[in-house]
Amino acid sequence: MRFQVVILAAGQGKRMHSDLPKVLHTLAGKPLIAHVVATARAIGAEQICIVHGHGGEQVQAALSGKDLAYALQSPQLGTGHALQQALPRLTKVPATLVLYGDVPLVRPATLQALLEAAGDGVAVLTAEPDDPDGYGRILRNKAGRVTGIVEQKDATAAQRRIREINTGIMALPTARLARWLPQLQNKNAQKEYYLTDIIALAVKDRVPVAGLKAADASEILGVNSRAQLAQLERTYQWQQAAQLLDAGVTLVDPLRFDLRGTLRCGRDVHIDVNCVFEGDVVLADGVSIGAHCVLKDVAIGAGTRIEPFCHVDGAGIGAHCRIGPYARIRPGTRLAAEVHIGNFVEIKASDIGGGSKANHLSYVGDATVGRNVNIGAGTITCNYDGANKHRTVIEDDVHIGSDVQLVAPVRVARGATVGAGTTVWRDTLPGGLVINAKTQEHRAAWQRPRKTGKPKS
C-alpha cells in the first residue's frame, strides 16, 4: 500500500524546562524525532510531513531529506488542529499514517501491521499499559469493533476503568481524512480539536475501524519530562542489550551498557561494564572490551583486546592487537595485526605496521610506522609547525628509545636505533645508532636551593 506519514511535533514540552524543542532531546545520542523519521523511512513512506511549532527552525535544521515536508502549527490547539495544518502538504496517496515526534520506540513491524489492518478504512494502535492514567480510552461495541475514543478528562467513571488506551498512532484513508478534518469541533474540557474524534466520524460514515493492540506497551511510551526521557533511555538500551545477548554477546551487566548507533558483533565477544558505542561499530570474533571504554565508528579485528578506559574513534584496529588501558586512538588511524598500544598513548591519523609497539606515554600523530617498530616511553612526533601538519615516516624494525622527539617531516630509515632523549630533525640512514651529542658534568660544590622560612612572629 502506498502511504505517507505525518509526524506531530509542535509541542513545546514545558515540563522539560528547556529552550530546546522537546522532540530534539536525544535518545541513544539521536534526537527523538530522528528515530521516528528513521522508522517512517524504514517502512517505505513516500513523504514525511512534520508539523512543528515551538523551535520549528531548530527542528528543520536537525533533519534533512528530500522526502521531508513541514507545516507550522501556531497556536497549538490539539492533535486534530495539528493535522489540519498538515492537510495542504499531503499528497493523494491512499493512506496517511499519523506518528508522534516524542514516541520513538514504535517498531516498523507494528506500523506495517497497522497499515494492513486499516486496509481502505481506519486503524488505531492501542495498548494496555500497567497504568492507563492520563490516556484516552478505547470504546468498543459488543462485537469488539472500535466505536470511539474518549479522552480521560472527558470520560465517565466507567470509561476510566477501561484498560485499553489510545496511543494516538493511526492509519487513515487520505481522501476521507480531507473531508473529516473540517468537521472536528472543540466541545470538550480542553477546548481543543481532537484527532480522536475522527473515529466517531468514521463510524458515522460506516467506515470500518480496526484496533490493533501493540505487542509491547513500551513501544508507545512518550516523553513529557526529563524523568520519562531517562526511563525511555534505559528501556531502549535494555532492548539493544537483549538483542546482543540473544546473539551470543557477553555483556557483564546489561544495565550498564549504552549503544548510540549500530553495533555488529562476531562470536564470543565480551563487553565489560559502562562501555559506550557510538556511530557504526564492528567487533569481530573474540574481541574483548574492558570497562569504561568509548568506541565510535570503529572496526576491531578478531581476538583484539581493548583494556579499560580507552577511547577509540574513527579507526581500524587489526586482529590480535592489545590497546590500553587509558589509550586514545583518534580518527584516521589504522593498526595492523598484533600491534600493542599501551597506557596513556595517543595515536592520531597514523598507520601502524604489524607487530609494532608503543607501550607507554607517547604521542604518534600523522605518521606511517612500519613493522616490528618499538616506540619508547615519552616519544612524540612533532607534527605541527604552528600552521601546517607534517608526516613522520618510521620504517620497519626501528627501535626508538625513551623521550625522543621526531620533528616532521622526517624519515627514520629501516633498522635504525634512536637513542634516549634524541631529537631527530633530519632523515636518518638505515641501521646504526642515532643520537644527539650530549655532555654530562658533575659540580661537587653545588648546593640545592632551600625554601626560605617564614619569620616567626
**Same-domain check for residues 247 and 305:** yes
> Beta strand pairing status for 26-27 and 30-31?
antiparallel
Considering the domain boundaries, does residue 154 fall inside one? yes
Query: What's the Cα-to-Cα distance from 392 to each of 309, 312, 366, rounded to whole Å?
Result: 28, 22, 6
| Domain coverage including residue 60 | 3-220
Q: What is the pLDDT of residue 271?
A: 98
**Same-domain check for residues 103 and 142:** yes
Residue range 58-64: mean pLDDT, rounded: 96
Return the percent helix, strand and coil in the chain, to nearest 5: 20, 30, 50
Q: What is the pLDDT of residue 457?
A: 60
**Same-domain check for residues 187 and 243:** no
**Same-domain check for residues 364 and 257:** yes
23 phi/psi in degrees, rounded to 5: -70, -10
Which CATH number fits the domain that encloses residue 98?
Answer: 3.90.550.10
**Same-domain check for residues 236 and 204:** no
Which CATH number fits the domain that encloses residue 337?
Answer: 2.160.10.10
Considering the domain boundaries, does residue 427 fall inside one? yes
Residue range 321-329: mean pLDDT, rounded: 98
Q: Which residue has the higher pLDDT, 306 or 386?
A: 306
**Same-domain check for residues 335 and 279:** yes
Confidence band (pLDDT; 50, 70, 90) for 455?
A: low
Q: Do the Cβ atoms of 171 and 97 come closer than 8 Å?
A: yes
Considering the domain boundaries, does residue 86 fall inside one? yes
Confidence band (pLDDT; 50, 70, 90) for 205?
A: very high
Residue whose entry in the numeric block shows the C-alpha cell 650530549: 438
**Same-domain check for residues 396 and 376:** yes
Residue range 371-387: mean pLDDT, rounded: 96
Q: What is the pLDDT of residue 443?
A: 85
Residue 450 has pLDDT above 90, yes or no: no
Helix axes 32-42, 108-118, angle to 10 degrees: 60
Q: What is the pLDDT of residues 144-189, one digit of tens each?
A: 889 999 989 889 999 999 999 999 999 999 999 999 999 999 988 8
Residue 177: its H or E element = helix 174-180
**Same-domain check for residues 140 and 200:** yes
Considering the domain boundaries, does residue 456 fall inside one? no
Residue ending a domain, choose from 220, 241, 265: 220
**Same-domain check for residues 177 and 241:** no
246 sits in the region (left: phi over 0; alpha: psi -120 to 50; else beta) called alpha
Angstrom distance (rounded) from CA 214 to CA 164: 10
Considering the domain boundaries, does residue 444 fall inside one? no
Considering the domain boundaries, does residue 457 fall inside one? no
Q: In this structure, is the dihedral angle defined by the CA atoms of residues 243, 245, 249 and 254, taken in order, positive or negative? A: positive
Residues noted as catalytic: 360
Task: State how many domains the chain has.
Answer: 2
Query: What's the Cα-to-Cα distance from 204 to each of 193, 197, 207, 350, rounded to whole Å?
Result: 18, 11, 8, 69
**Same-domain check for residues 208 and 235:** no
Angstrom distance (rounded) from CA 420 to CA 295: 33
Q: Measuring CA to CA, which residue among 153, 109, 106, 108 is closest to residue 127?
A: 106
Residue 89 has pLDDT above 90, yes or no: yes
**Same-domain check for residues 38 and 161:** yes
Query: What's the Cα-to-Cα distance from 237 to each of 28, 42, 113, 223, 292, rounded to whole Å?
Result: 8, 20, 25, 16, 16
Residue 263: its H or E element = strand 257-265
Q: Which residue has the higher pLDDT, 216 or 291?
A: 291
Q: Do the Cβ atoms of 210 and 146 come closer than 8 Å?
A: yes
Considering the domain boundaries, does residue 443 fall inside one? no
**Same-domain check for residues 149 and 277:** no
| Cis peptide preceding 325, ω within 30 of 0 | yes
Q: What is the pLDDT of residues 43-58, one digit of tens each?
A: 999 999 999 998 899 9
Mean pLDDT for all residues in the chain: 95
| Percentage of the chain exceeding pLDDT 70 | 99
Considering the domain boundaries, does residue 165 fall inside one? yes
